[in-house]
Amino acid sequence: MDSREDEWRGQPGTLHMSEDLSETRCWALLSTHQTGRIGFLRNGAVQIYPVNYLVHDGAIYFRTRDDGDIGSLLPLNGCAFQVDEVRSEAMAGWSVLANGTADAVRDEALLTELWGRSAEEPWAGGSRTTFVGIQPTQISGRSVQAV
């Protein structure tokens, strides 16, 4: 160990490594979870809601109500979707962020396929029969781990 390494050892963050994730890795990580967060603007304020989702053919889908906070604003021309995993005991984790647009799914063939997929029921109460598709225009991710 050279003297520069010795000088920084023990300083906050010096024993951690972070890296950008490839788009392929981001999609793979998105596919490992069923709950994420959608962010969007409503009346000039950022709203962030947890949603149960699934990934299919390069898009992210979740169910909502037509007249709910999200459904009533569709289409969303700018939204963000985030999923992450934190392993506190290992001081490690990752985060994936997808930016794009969201709208109600109207294609009957796609709706049939989505309804046939095994997905977690939405946690929010009430009838959530409108599938919303997020079409990412940008996807990025980052991982952090102890070295």
pLDDT for the residue 17: 83
Does the residue 93 lie in any domain?
yes
- Give domain status of residue 3, yes or no: no
Residue 101 lies in a domain: yes
| Residue 91 is assigned to a structural domain of this protein | yes
**140 occurs within a structural domain:** yes
DSSP assignment string, 70-134: TGGG-SEEEEEEEEEEEEGGGTEEEEEEEEEEEEE---HHHHHHHHHS--PPPSSSS---EEEEE
User: Which CATH number belongs to the domain containing residue 104 in this structure?
Assistant: 2.30.110.10
- Please count the structural domains in the chain: 1
- Assigned domain for 13 exists: no
Q: What is the pLDDT of residues 87-111, one digit of tens each?
A: 888 888 999 999 999 999 999 999 9
Question: Among residues 132, 21, 7, 139, which one has the least CA distance to residue 80?
Answer: 139
The H or E element spanning position 27 is helix 23-30
Taking only the tens place, the pLDDT of each residue in 32-58 is: 999 999 999 999 999 999 999 999 999
Indicate whether 124 belongs to any domain.
yes
Tokens encoding 86:
């934190």
Q: Are strands 92-104 and 130-146 parallel, antiparallel or unpaired?
A: antiparallel
Its pTM stands at: 0.84
Whole-number Å distance between alpha carbons of 108 and 110: 5
In tens, the pLDDT along 110-143 reads: 999 999 886 777 777 777 889 999 999 999 999 9
Q: Domain range for residue 88?
A: 22-146
Is the separation of the CB atoms in 37 and 49 below 8 Å? Answer: yes
Comparing C-alpha atoms, which of 137, 128, 127, 131 is closest to residue 110? 131
Whether residue 5 is contained in a domain is answered as: no
